[in-house]
Copies of this chain bind each other. A is one copy, B any other.
Amino acid sequence: MKNAATVRRRGANRGRRAQDRASRGGRPVLVQKETELKIISSPTEMQAFAEAARCRGERIALIPTMGYLHEGHLSLMREGRRLGTMVIASIFVNPTQFGANEDFSRYPRDMERDCSLMRTVPVDVLFAPQSTDMYLADSQTWVDVTKVTQGLCGPLRPGHFRGVATVVTKLFNIVKPHVALFGEKDFQQLRTIQRMVQDLNMDLEIIPMPTVREADGIAMSSRNVYLSPSERETALCISRALSAARNALATGTNTAAGVAGVATAVLAREPGVTIEYVEAVDAENLEPVGVVKRPIVVAIAARVGKVRLIDNAVMAPALSA
């Protein structure tokens, strides 16, 4: 086999972890000192490695990222560590999910820091492919999730979710995970991937993880680095708007439009904020809602200066009195 050397190298490590597992009733054990991080860039090698891992009984947890890791990503990786016996993270700034006028070329990158952070989890394997290896010449196949991508960011970022669904399908086929973890911060992306997995009978479990926030409430995002200190301050109105929406729903506002209106009002008061959308939609299928009877997600996209930020909150209607 192509990656026999690779497998042998992992073998030593595996033996140790398997022993630990055996002595604790089958649960994987976090070995604090383990800092080996295997880096694979070839999709073919990654696929053979993953297949071999599955064949010897590993349970693979995948955390797909675009790098420039923050605490949000790390929370996914730590949960992956708990759920799998092999944690594989990917870093790939996927060109097909960026629009022509978006920030693909200047998307922040810091591979060295990312690797250090992953070693603290620890992550076992980093899959970091080149774009030319992921998209061969004449590549022409797309995965399209049609309904949940129609609203919210869909019309504003044409092709974005098609790019996401396609690259995630590719990553799933390459890394062959049993579970894959996605943050709720990108809520429409999460719902897109969940639908795709169900509709295409992909044999893995999607684990949604809560948005991680800074102490002041701002949702963690690699793009926060674009914000100037004053923009950073201004951006706080987004999480404040979500809190206001939650309060409104809890205290008698019972229509989606009413809840969204409360959030909009908070943002509209703030100079320097351009609203792209504020919507309250069904939390499962992202469809329009009148009177709120089931959980909704309030989703916001807004520009602070030139920086586009998104955030959301899922909230259930108050129990009827």
Q: By the criterion CB–CB under 8 Å, are A141 and B165 in contact?
A: yes
Say yes or no: is A17 at the interface (Cβ < 8 Å to chain B).
no
A162–chain B nearest beta-carbon distance, Å:
9
Say yes or no: is A131 at the interface (Cβ < 8 Å to chain B).
no
Q: By the criterion CB–CB under 8 Å, are B201 and A170 in contact?
A: yes
A192–chain B nearest beta-carbon distance, Å:
9
Interface members, chain A 187-212 (any B CB < 8 Å):
195-196, 198-203
**Chain B residues whose CB sits within 8 angstroms of the CB of A145 once the complex forms:** 140-141
**Chain B residues whose CB sits within 8 angstroms of the CB of A147 once the complex forms:** 138, 140
Say yes or no: is A222 at the interface (Cβ < 8 Å to chain B).
no
Interface residues on A, range: 20 to 34
Say yes or no: is A130 at the interface (Cβ < 8 Å to chain B).
no
* A-B pairs, 10 with minimum CB distance: A141-B199, A173-B201, A140-B147, A140-B146, A170-B201, A142-B144, A141-B145, A139-B199, A141-B196, A174-B201
Say yes or no: is A3 at the interface (Cβ < 8 Å to chain B).
no
CA distance A51 to B57 in the complex (A): 12
Chain B residue with minimal CB distance to A198? B136
Convert A137-181 into 0s and 1s, putting 1 for each residue whose CB lies closer than 8 angstroms to a CB of B.
011111111111000000000000000011001100110100000
CA distance A29 to B57 in the complex (A): 28
Convert A13-50 into 0s and 1s, putting 1 for each residue whose CB lies closer than 8 angstroms to a CB of B.
00000000000000000000000000000010001000
